[in-house]
């Protein structure tokens, strides 16, 4: 099968910086054991979830083309998903939260294409195709929920992170990779867990991204819907976990009404959740999302928004009341009476208006940063942006005039005006000076020999958010994860076991009817006596073929495994129960 990435009309709209996270699915890399793991989990899930999942789940499985018997092919999923306005891409495990949410804003599901090991069949801390494909995809067939997911991505990708958030993301990614890797030592896992725990306990005040990730966790990942006494499952983390989907419906898990308070409830990705939140319907999710969005710097701006950007130490944007947008890494703000009066970025900075870079004000023009006063002129009630051409002339704000502008908060700008830029409403948004000196009281902020001083015009900061205003202003294709998913070379013993799984799969699918299931079982008992899933698959074929001796041999071997490995006893019983149910229904 072709391992290249096949695009479509939805994926074609993705910006370049998101494409860097996409990788080929490499479908042929899935072994017959992987396929058996998918089949077991899906059969168990569908059997149980038909009773406890939101009705959109089973409808969505059919609508999104997800098969119970084989791992979904991304190309096939995309051909069906496009009919509901969505697409899917494969990625390598966890990607940065802002990027994950931005994909959602473009109606694209991010699917970690690896699949959990057989030893982790009930739950894996690492994102995998069972979680993403079988959990997220079916529910988006519900248009109300799909719009919530898109809107969440649109708002969430603008949330401002802290520098500690990035450190925690890398630590959690590393932990998930180590825990899922087959050759990880207990010491390696313990060290990674301790590091994550240490970071979680020393995060300080939670950032916007940390808070909105809580909302994402308690809804998109682990949400329940309905009433407290009779909730149904819609969260992908529950839909894809055969252990937690059953456990969460018991009284051992506390059920709470979903409110904005869920924002402040942290979670531990490596453990089952002790409590879950229940929304009465999907519309309520959007109400809480908008309630939270109203607290974000995206909508509030101001001094606090600028300070959050400074703390993030990452690329961000402020928008002024004129619509002028300044994008860069903010490192300084001077405030007066609780309001910002001067902002400064460091390094490459770009100016934009309505998400479109201003001509002549890209990063090549502001390589060393950008600084500007903000606010009103001292003693003048009329803000510069609200002045008519006659007002500007009266206050000497005019081309080729030498002027000193004194702002509230002690900022002065002295120099010769070269020109200005206006927005579509005619308001002036930028004034350029030569021979300019900018001061805060006695502190020099800009001096004439530094070149042209471009002064942003705006009486207030109305918005502050993560990322650039114009995606094309910066080189955003820079992400290199500190840890990669570990793929170890398979042992000869593992390859032999995979061969046996493949023989049984080929027989069930009618590709080779000459295979002796009895001989496969004999070899399995002799050389792979701890494996429990393949005997269940052989047992099913024995039931279908009415082969009593083979059926009894399978059951006898499975009982032996249960005595040797009691921890998998319930998995064996669950697998047999599904097969026997199917037999009775025929």
Question: Whose CA is closest to 114, among 79, 88, 89, 90?
Answer: 90
- pLDDT in the model for residue 2: 43
> How many angstroms separate the CA atoms of 58 and 56, rounded?
6
- pLDDT in the model for residue 443: 96
Q: Are β-strands 402-406 and 356-357 bridged in parallel, bridged antiparallel, or unpaired?
A: unpaired
- pLDDT in the model for residue 158: 97
- pLDDT in the model for residue 225: 97
- pLDDT in the model for residue 3: 47
- pLDDT in the model for residue 481: 56
Q: Give the three-class secondary structure for 361.
A: coil
> How many angstroms separate the CA atoms of 555 and 105, rounded?
50
Average pLDDT by stretches of 10, the chain with 586 residues: 61 91 89 95 86 89 82 84 87 84 93 86 76 81 93 96 81 74 78 80 84 95 95 90 85 96 86 92 97 98 97 96 97 97 98 96 97 96 91 91 96 96 90 97 96 97 97 84 60 93 95 93 96 96 94 96 95 92 57
Please say whether the beta carbons of 238 and 217 come within 8 A: no
- pLDDT in the model for residue 580: 87
- pLDDT in the model for residue 242: 72
Please say whether the beta carbons of 177 and 227 come within 8 A: no
CB atoms closer than 10 angstroms to residue 6: 12
Please say whether the beta carbons of 524 and 537 come within 8 A: no
Please say whether the beta carbons of 345 and 372 come within 8 A: no
- pLDDT in the model for residue 585: 47
pTM above 0.75, yes or no: yes
Q: What is the DSSP letter of 568?
A: G
Residues forming beta bridges with residue 305, ordered by sequence position: none
Domain ranges of the chain: 11-290, 319-463, 492-585
CB atoms closer than 10 angstroms to residue 443: 11
> How many angstroms separate the CA atoms of 579 and 79, rounded?
32
Instruction: Please tell me the CATH code under which domain 11-290 is placed.
Output: 1.10.800.10
Tokens 């890797």 identify what position? Answer: 181
> How many angstroms separate the CA atoms of 165 and 114, rounded?
25
- pLDDT in the model for residue 573: 95
């Amino acid at each position: 099968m072709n391992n290249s990435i096949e695009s479509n009309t939805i994926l074609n709209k993705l910006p370049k910086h998101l494409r860097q996270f996409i990788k080929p699915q490499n479908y042929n890399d899935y072994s017959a054991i992987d396929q058996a793991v998918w089949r077991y989990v899906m059969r168990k899930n569908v059997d149980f979830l038909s009773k406890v999942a939101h009705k959109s789940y089973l409808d969505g499985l059919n609508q999104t083309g997800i098969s119970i018997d084989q791992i979904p092919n991304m190309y096939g999923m995309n051909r069906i998903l496009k009919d509901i306005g969505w697409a899917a891409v494969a990625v390598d495990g966890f990607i940065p939260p802002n990027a994950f949410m931005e994909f959602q804003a473009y109606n694209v599901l991010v699917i970690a294409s690896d699949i959990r090991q057989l030893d982790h069949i009930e739950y894996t801390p690492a994102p995998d195709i069972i979680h993403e494909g079988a959990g997220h995809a079916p529910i988006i067939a519900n248009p109300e929920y799909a719009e919530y997911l898109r809107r969440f991505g649109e708002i969430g990708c603008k949330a401002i992170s802290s520098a500690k958030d990035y450190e925690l993301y890398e630590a959690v990614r590393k932990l998930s990779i180590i825990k899922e890797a087959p050759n990880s030592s207990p010491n390696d896992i313990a060290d990674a867990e301790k590091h994550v725990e240490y970071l979680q306990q020393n995060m300080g005040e939670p950032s916007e991204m940390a808070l909105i990730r809580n909302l994402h966790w308690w809804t998109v990942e682990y949400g329940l819907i309905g009433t407290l006494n009779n909730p149904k499952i819609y969260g992908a983390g529950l839909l894809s976990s055969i252990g937690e989907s059953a456990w969460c419906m018991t009284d051992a898990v506390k059920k709470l009404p979903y409110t904005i308070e869920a924002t402040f409830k942290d979670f531990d990705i490596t453990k089952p959740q002790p409590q879950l939140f229940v929304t009465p319907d999907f519309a309520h999710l959007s109400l809480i999302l908008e309630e939270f969005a109203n607290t974000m710097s995206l909508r509030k701006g101001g001094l606090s928004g600028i300070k959050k950007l400074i703390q993030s130490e990452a690329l961000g944007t402020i928008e002024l009341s004129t619509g002028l947008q300044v994008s860069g890494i903010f490192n300084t703000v001077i405030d007066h009476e609780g309001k910002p009066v001067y902002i400064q970025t460091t390094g490459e900075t770009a100016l934009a208006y309505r998400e479109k870079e201003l001509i002549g004000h890209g990063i090549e023009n502001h390589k060393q940063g950008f600084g500007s006063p903000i606010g009103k002129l001292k003693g003048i009630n009329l803000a510069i942006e609200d002045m008519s051409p006659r007002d500007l002339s009266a206050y000497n704000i005019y081309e080729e005039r030498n002027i000193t502008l004194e702002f509230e908060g002690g900022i002065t700008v002295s120099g010769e005006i070269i020109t200005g830029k206006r927005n579509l409403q005619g308001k002036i948004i930028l004034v350029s000076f030569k021979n300019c000196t900018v001061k805060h009281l006695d502190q020099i902020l800009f001096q004439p020999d530094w070149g042209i001083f471009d002064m942003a015009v705006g009486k207030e900061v109305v918005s502050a958010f993560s990322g650039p205003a114009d995606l094309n202003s910066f080189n955003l294709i820079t992400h290199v994860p500190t840890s990669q998913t570990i793929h170890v070379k398979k042992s000869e013993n593992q390859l032999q076991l995979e061969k046996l799984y493949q023989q049984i799969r080929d027989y069930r699918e009618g590709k080779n009817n000459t295979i002796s299931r009895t001989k496969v079982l004999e070899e399995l008992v002799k050389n792979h006596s701890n494996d429990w899933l393949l005997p269940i698959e052989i047992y099913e074929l024995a039931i279908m073929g009415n082969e009593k001796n083979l059926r009894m041999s399978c059951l006898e071997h499975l009982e032996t495994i249960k005595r040797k490995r009691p921890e998998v006893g319930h998995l064996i019983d669950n697998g047999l129960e599904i097969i026997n149910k199917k037999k009775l229904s025929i």
